[in-house]
Amino acid sequence: MNQDAGLATALRAPVQGRSKASYERMLAAAEALLVERGSDDFTLLEVSKKGKVSIGSIYNRFESKDALLHAVQLRVLDQLDRAMLGRIAEARAGHAALPSLVVSLVDTLAETLREFGPQMRPLMARASTDALVASVGKASYMGTANAIKEALLDHRSEMRVKDPERAVDSTFRILYAAIARYLGFGTISTSAWEGDWLVLKQDLAQMLAAFLMSDALM
């Protein structure tokens, strides 16, 4: 199945009545199993039982388990993106100075990803073998990246680096990689680092603010 066909299947949702309720139970059951197992190691029959929907109803809506998981990913990422972009906008509007904005953005990214970590870990692990999951996930990642970089570039006048665009790009990559590593994204582990969460956020904010306000190398 090509990526366009996969997305079309995932987005083919009913809009009213019992069909919509049944569809929502399918997605909720599959998402719950994804979180409980920490992977996609479950069957459509298990989804049927957990969601109290017939197996025939599932196959009438989704041609395969892959199609169902693609719909679950879209559902999760829609919720994540709404939360993430809304919180970034609040941080962007609420801080007049670069250092305090960096602290707020670090906390926003970290806490939002941690909130959705149980769903994101198995989905990101699946992305290594599912091109559609990888593509949809990358689009969500880029939306967050662009929003954070735009927020930081509002304060380019406070930056001492010679190339602010390059600097904020590196800032986001370092921040996301550190948080994703801690949360175990891309693995089936619940966490890849056993360090203190608060210390990680504080140190990242301090290092990244210092980097943006330094002219030592760039």
Q: Looking at residue 15, what is its pLDDT? A: 52
Average pLDDT on 107-121 reads 97
- Judge contact between 195 and 189, C-beta under 8 A: no
Identify the pLDDT of residue 43: 96
**Please, are residues 70 and 123 in contact by the beta-carbon 8 Å criterion?**
no
pLDDT value of position 69: 95
Residue 19's pLDDT band, with cuts at 50, 70 and 90, is confident
Q: Which residue has the higher pLDDT, 218 or 122?
A: 122
Domains of the chain, with CATH numbers? 3-65 (1.10.10.60), 73-212 (1.10.357.10)
CA end-to-end span of the chain:
46
Residue 52 has pLDDT above 80, yes or no: yes
Identify the band that residue 76 occupies on the pLDDT scale cut at 50, 70 and 90: very high
- Cα–Cα distance for residue pair 174/108, rounded to 1 Å: 15
160-185 confidence digits (pLDDT tens):
999 999 999 999 999 999 999 999 98
Query: Average pLDDT of 64-83?
Result: 96
- 23-46 pLDDT, tens digit per residue, is 999 999 999 999 999 999 999 999
pTM reported for the whole predicted model = 0.88
Q: Collapse the DSSP code of 178 into the 3-class scheme (helix H, G, I; strand E, B; otherwise coil) and give the result.
A: helix
Q: What integer is the mean pLDDT of 70-83?
A: 97
Greatest mean pLDDT among 9-13, 101-105, 213-217: 101-105
- pLDDT (average), residues 50-59: 95
Distance CA 151, CA 162 (A): 18
Residue 192 predicted with pLDDT over 60: no
Q: Which of helix, strand or coil describes residue 154?
A: coil
More confident residue, 191 or 76: 76
